[in-house]
Chain A
């Protein structure tokens, strides 16, 4: 049960790039993916910036091999999951592996449901049924799993903004329980009118580019994307030609149990998630070299997450940054996207900047990184996720 789980593949698509290499270039160059909304049809496009994937649905269709009328969520998932799967080398090398696909999402096919309802609400006999049949998050997952040729286990997790972290945890546990040999785990979410209006009505969207962990931050920008890692057992890792990127040494899921949409000021949820993950990986706080923050840029999140970090790490603060300053908040995909960024940070020995940070939060003695740096000695990276409903999960990736 305590056997290690290794990461042997990674794939990502977001506002800063259509694959891992492009994403890494943008992270190194400090190039944000946040911009005026261009691809989503919405009345808010002039007022609310977002980090869209810079491809329209026809282009995504060509790249993913899925029909253009399919949900954007599925196309993003397909592109990143296939990159991860191909990157692992498992897709062709090893026969008779027990494989799984654990994908997270909060929006599922709701972009198409919006289209359907526009007609359905006028007349219940109207609306194309093909636009509603993939409403469920689960059907996005099965569609992609079939294309990847994965069928021993297919499941979908939805715990708001921590969804993908829980998908990665669940995938790792299926391997540790010897139920599977390899799992593609992560998540996907497209930008939709549903989420854009939802967060806008909650008054948590910044009309400017978001400034996570800045004293004068005023909300988040939404993003979209998908991110997956390929998890394998030690036995499978040893069969591969290339060394694994790293190991997933710790994870923990806790609930803040404070409020449906905000986190406790003391950061109980993120504190429990981080300390649980540390305990599992047998590490002490000073062992962590970099924290990829949840860092949405809302007043509540950054205060709460910051308080949890202060409680756990004071006075030895690791370097930290929120890559949501590049990708916006990709919701159910964010922990998958950020897991890939964390894995790449370890692998290449680099720490990404927290863009647009001008005035550090006065409540805390630490300041996130404002510039890109090379850190060849990175050993342990912690990635945080906090979601609606108090769902908090942390993951720890460790160099081998």
Chain B
């Protein structure tokens, strides 16, 4: 079942929200933490509601509401979200409160908003959407699982539309912890030169991306999502190649049909080996771009990649910051996003022009 993308909205470390220009003025970061460029939320969300919302809730709810508005849909038939870490700021706040106040926390607000389904719930509450509502927290496959749920939902229901989103936030605490785990570059590097460093570590990222998907086409659709798949810890490069082969076969696609690959290289030399192995084998000769220098590495970064792919297809244009001198075919009809997060979950998202 393919899904038509009627609108796509992202809040990211780039100027992607409320900005008609398409990544023409990339934001540069010189440390290992990329932070979302947040809009003035008072235009997007009722100020009475904003007061208690944490950053991830605001980013996500603003994206979701803008996505519905762009699509001209007041109330979708389903809301599905994917987030690996959920509402980390609130979780950290409440845990800190318990420890510091010796189990006499003063307010339940952070606890209440710490649950992983808070975002899907807040959206439902704000627009009074009583329909299907689900949240996936599957690490690096969270957004892909949400998309899979969305595609199944659309095939189960006639003339349905659905809001699907990906979101994760960095907090001061999580950045320190993930840095201690050795995930990020030790030396300062410009995100715009991320792929020139050939060293260990990547850069930390975050963001929210929402999509309004339908099972009926309309003239303003950005692109289509044809299929999605996740693979858990493929045993070797050969198994991964077989899985990619069968994914394409099941969609009756040849490698030569793919006009552009969007790859999840993150600048960590060991992490990126898998991508270059595939580019020397099954992906050989297919034009490709990377995206994590713009949004950083995080478990639901494929939400940003799907936003990117939808816009590349719609505008038939690859922004200079992504193109790096490569010239793809004239018309970009099919994009395959391939990503792996820490070599645990690998995923494919196939998108095409409508």
Contact = CB atoms under 8 A, between A and B. Distances in A.
Contact of A253 (B111, B132, B181): B132
A193 B103 CA distance: 8
Interface residues of A, number: 65
B165 interface: no
Interface stretch (A23-31, A221-229, A234-242, A386-394): A386-394
A142 interface: yes
B125 A390 contact: yes
A306 B33 CA distance: 50
B109 to A, nearest CB: 9
Contacts, number: 178
Given A124-B176, A154-B232, A260-B122, A159 B135 contact: yes
Given A154-B232, A155-B141, A389-B124, A121 B133 contact: no
A156 to B, nearest CB: 5
A255 interface: yes
By CB atoms of chain B within 10 A, which of A110, A141, A261 has the most?
A: A261
Contacts of A151: 232-233
Contacts of A198: 94, 105, 108, 111-112, 114
A257 B106 CA distance: 27
B99 A43 contact: no
Interface string B98-129: 11101111111001111111101110110011
By CB atoms of chain B within 10 A, which of A137, A152, A272 has the most?
A: A137
Interface in A305-339: none
A148 interface: no
B96 A156 contact: no
A269 B130 contact: yes
Given A138-B84, A201-B105, A202-B108, A389 B138 contact: no
A123 B247 CA distance: 48
A42 B177 contact: no
B298 interface: no
Contacts of B136: 155-158
- Chain A contact surface mostly: mixed
Given A121-B99, A388-B117, A157 B134 contact: yes
Given A156-B136, A159-B134, A254-B131, 7 more contacts: A137-B86, A138-B142, A157-B137, A159-B133, A194-B91, A197-B103, A201-B106
Interface of A: 1, 42-44, 105-106, 108, 110, 113-114, 117-118, 120-121, 124-125, 129, 132-133, 135-139, 141-142, 145, 151-160, 166, 170, 173-174, 177, 193-194, 197-198, 201-202, 253-261, 268-269, 272, 387-391
10 contacts: A136-B85, A142-B344, A158-B115, A158-B117, A193-B103, A198-B108, A255-B121, A259-B125, A389-B120, A389-B121
The 7 closest A-B CB pairs, nearest first, are A389-B121, A198-B111, A138-B139, A158-B116, A201-B108, A255-B133, A158-B137
Interface of B: 79, 84-86, 91, 94-96, 98-100, 102-108, 111-118, 120-122, 124-125, 128-139, 141-142, 145, 149, 152, 155-156, 173, 176-177, 180-181, 230, 232-233, 344
